[in-house]
Amino acid sequence: MKTKMKTKRRSSIEDKIHEGTFCLARGEYEKSISHFSNAIDEDPDSYAAHLSRGVAYAKLGNMEHAGADFARAIELKPEDPRPYHLRGLTHLSRGDRETAKKDFDKAIELNPRYGIAYFSRGTTLSEMGDLDGAGNDMVTAARLGEANLQEFSDYHNIWRTMYDKVEAVLLGEREADIALKPDMTSWMD
């Protein structure tokens, strides 16, 4: 009987995360936050719910809550570079380049083939005046390219099925900001 209850509870949490992800992909950030929060109420240790809710908060410009969710995701899965990268982006959006760089460094340490972390760190280094370091990181990011995205997706199957599109949207907006807003501080507009 206990196994059946656990399975039913897990299914309920997964349903809430799925609904939240669907709303997030459609740009319904408040609704997605509600779904992810409901999942967290049922399972405070849900890595996917914290990470996803952090993205939704970031899209709304609430960097404090986004950073808190990314920090919790790091506590739950410290070996995953993604929450470090995302938390670094929230620091960068607030102009805290030193702290952002530390998060990007950690993401790269955890996965030296995580190309977007090189891109973000390169942008940060450029803003900090380290053009040589920035150039090296940009070359590395470009070299890793498309193959890196496929490799990372294969390694993190849950991301492939639920979150690659969300991260792609965020990264696409960040890339658009490079051309339009060289200061790189408003990637979530």
Domains of the chain and CATH, by start: 1-77 (1.25.40.10), 79-189 (1.25.40.10)
Residue 178 pLDDT more than 90? no
Give the pLDDT band (50/70/90) at residue 16: very high
Residue 22 pLDDT more than 80? yes
For 76-96, the pLDDT digits (tens) are: 999 999 999 999 999 999 999
Residue 176 pLDDT more than 50? no
Amino acid at 79: E
Position 153 scores a pLDDT of 56
Position 172 scores a pLDDT of 55
Of 185 and 109, the structure prediction assigns the larger pLDDT to: 109
Distance of alpha carbon 13 from alpha carbon 180, whole angstroms: 39
Position 169 scores a pLDDT of 55
Nearest residue to 169 (alpha-carbon basis) of 19, 59, 32, 91: 59
Distance of alpha carbon 174 from alpha carbon 186, whole angstroms: 8
Distance of alpha carbon 181 from alpha carbon 175, whole angstroms: 10
Mean pLDDT for all residues in the chain: 82
Position 159 scores a pLDDT of 45
Amino acid at 134: A
Position 52 scores a pLDDT of 96
Q: How far apart are the first and last CA of the chain?
A: 49
Of 10 and 66, the structure prediction assigns the larger pLDDT to: 66
Amino acid at 142: A
Give the pLDDT band (50/70/90) at residue 143: confident
Helix axes 47-59, 81-93, angle to 10 degrees: 20
Residue 37 pLDDT more than 80? yes
Please state the rounded mean pLDDT for residues 109-137.
94
Residue whose token pair is 């656990």: 6
Residue 67 pLDDT more than 90? yes
Position 144 scores a pLDDT of 86
Q: Give me Rg for the CA atoms of the chain.
A: 17
Please state the rounded mean pLDDT for residues 181-189.
38
Distance of alpha carbon 45 from alpha carbon 53, whole angstroms: 13
Total Cβ atoms within 10 A of residue 23: 20
Position 148 scores a pLDDT of 57
Distance of alpha carbon 93 from alpha carbon 160, whole angstroms: 26
